[in-house]
Structure 1
Amino acid sequence: MALVTFLSDFGDKDYYVPAVKAKMLSINPQLNIIDISHSIAPYDIEHAAFVLRSTFREFPKGTVHLVGINTIGTMTQGYIGVKLEEHIFVGPNNGILSLLADQDPGILVKFADIHLKDSTFPTRDILAPIAAKVASGAAIHDFGGPLTGFRKLMSRQAKATREHIIGHVIRIDRYGNLLTNIRKEVFEKLNPGKFTIQFGRESVDRLQNGYDQVEAGDPFAFFNSLDVLEIGINHGHGGNLLGLKQDSVVYINFGP
């Protein structure tokens, strides 16, 4: 199955998304193109990386992921192909692909000049043809040579000791729920049985298994399907009601 996912900050009001898809389909009309999202805020590499990191493993191994985020600008240092956990990523060398996993990619290719062209629309003119051809059976090595290193960005990590974990809000979803960078595995290793989670004007001393285990208007905290701590207000916009925003601090204190 020739499967390509497509992630961009193009929105849905212009011609950009269909133009990129048309380019890929002109190369292989049998491609199955799946939109991950085109509602990423312009140039928001951090959000795009979060969305892609949270979803790419759900697709079959061998899927090609086309990334059209901030493809023109001072941050972008050429265009690359990456093989990571049996998935192929085609996108700009602007740091976004370094945020997808904790380990480095198994294969890293810098696309050769012969496959590049001057363009104000490189996602369509450069990346889409390569993604389509790779999804159709070509190898990313066919389009360039090995790259020893690529542009890396550092994501904020939670700090943990035996006494506490200090994390941050990394995303507020459309419901106002707040996702943090506190991972379940870290919490379970340190948790002595008693703890207090402090966020904004609220604190809780127990975890739920979902949103509806507290009354409407009450705060909740649980480890979600991504195995990160999620907090908020049931049937309320947690960000607004708690006075929290992206990068706000969340504390877990252990002990009585």
Structure 2
Amino acid sequence: MALVTFLSDFGDKDYYVPAVKAKMLAVNPQLNIIDISHNIDTFDIAHAAFVLRSTFRDFPKGTVHLVSLNTTGSITHGYIGVKLEEHIFVGPNNGLLSLLADHEPGIMVQFADIHLKDSTFPTKDILAPIAAKVASGAAIHDFGGPLKNFRKLMSRHPKATREHIIGHVLRVDRYGNLITNVNKEVFDKLNPGKFSIEFGRESVNRLHKGYDQVEPGDCFAFFNSLDLLEIGINHGHGAELLGLKYDSVVYVTFHP
């Protein structure tokens, strides 16, 4: 199955998304193109990386993921293809792809000049044809050579001791809920049975199973489908009401 996912900050009000899809379908009309999201906050690499990292493993191995964010920006060091956990990613070399896992991709290719062209729309003119051809059976090695300068960005990791986990907010979703980088596996290993979770001006000392486990207006905390600690206010915009945002600190304290 020739499957391509597409992630960008293009939104849905302009011609950009259909133009890119049309370019890919011109290469192979049988392509199955799946939109992950085109409502990534503009130029927000952290948002794009979070969404893609949270979803790409749910697609079949061999899927090609077309990533478009800051493709014309000064932080983009060319265009690349990488193979990570049997998935192929095609996009700009701006650090976004380095945030998808805690280990480097097994294969990294810098696209050769012969496949590049001067363009104000490189996602359509450069990346889309390559993504379509790779999804149709070509190898990413066909489009370039070894990447010597893989641009890397550092993601925050929680700090954990026997007494504490200090985490940070990774994402505020559209409901105002706050997804943190506190992982369930680490929490379970350290948890002696009693704990408190402090965020903003609030604190909870138990985990819930979902949003509706507390009354409207009350705070909740549970491990979500990503096994990450999620906090917020039922039927309320937690980020605004708690004064929290991306990168805000969340404290977990374990009590003997």
1:197 and 1:205 mapped to 2: Cα distance?
A: 6
Letter in 2 for 1:206: R
Matches within 5 A, 1:4-153: 4-153=4-153
In the alignment, the residues of structure 2 paired with residue 73 and residue 171 of structure 1 have an alpha-carbon distance, to the nearest angstrom, of 23
What one-letter code is carried by the residue in structure 1 that aligns with 2:33? I
Measure the CA separation in 2 of the matches of 1:244 and 1:77.
Answer: 33
Q: Which runs of 4+ in 1 moved over 2 A?
A: none
1:215 aligns with 2:215: yes
Following superposition, the deviation at residue 217 of structure 1 comes to: 1.2
Quick one: percent identity of the two aligned structures? 83
Partner of 2:66: helix, strand, or coil? strand
2:178 partner letter? L
Q: How does 1:126-205 map to 2 (within 5 A)?
A: 126-205=126-205
Distance 2:111 2:246 in 1: 35
Aligned residues, how many? Answer: 256
Report the Cα distance in structure 2 between the residues aligned to 1:76 and 1:196, rounded to whole angstroms.
42
Distance 2:73 2:202 in 1: 41
Q: What secondary structure, in the 3-state scheme, does the structure 1 residue paired with 2:128 have?
A: helix
Instruction: State the Cα deviation string for residues 127-151 of structure 1 (Å, max 9, x = none).
Output: 0000000000000010011124400
CA displacement 1:203-233 (0-9 Å, x = unmatched): 1111011111111111110110011100001
Structure 1 163/211 Cα, relative in aligned 2: closer, same or farther at 3 Å?
Answer: same
Q: Which amino acid aligns with 1:6?
A: F
Q: Structure 2-normalised TM-score?
A: 0.98
Structure-2 residue corresponding to 1:243: 243
Distance 1:210 1:221 in 2: 8
C-alpha distance in 1 between matches for 2:44 and 2:246: 13
State the AA in 1 paired with 2:60: P
Residue type of the alignment partner of 1:109:
V
CA distance in 1, matches of 2:163, 2:78: 45
Alpha-carbon distance in structure 2 between the residues aligned to 1:206 and 1:148: 48
When the two chains are superposed, the root-mean-square deviation of aligned CA atoms in Å is: 0.9
SS in 2 for 1:167: strand
2:224 is aligned to: 224
Q: Secondary structure at the match of 1:235?
A: coil
Question: Once structures 1 and 2 are overlaid, which stretch shifts more, 143-152 or 126-135?
Answer: 143-152
| Alpha-carbon offset, residue 152 of structure 1 | 0.2
CA–CA separation in structure 1 for the residues paired with 2:85 and 2:136: 19
| SS of corresponding position for 1:221 | strand
Runs of 5+ unmatched residues, structure 2:
none
1:208 partner SS:
coil
Deviations 1:4-59 (A, max 9, x none): 00001111111111110000000100000001111111111110000000000111
CA distance in 2, matches of 1:94, 1:241: 34
2:41 and 2:188 mapped to 1: Cα distance? 34
Deviation for aligned residue 1:3: 0.4
SS state of the match for residue 39, structure 1? coil
Please, which runs of 5 or more residues in structure 1 have no aligned partner? none
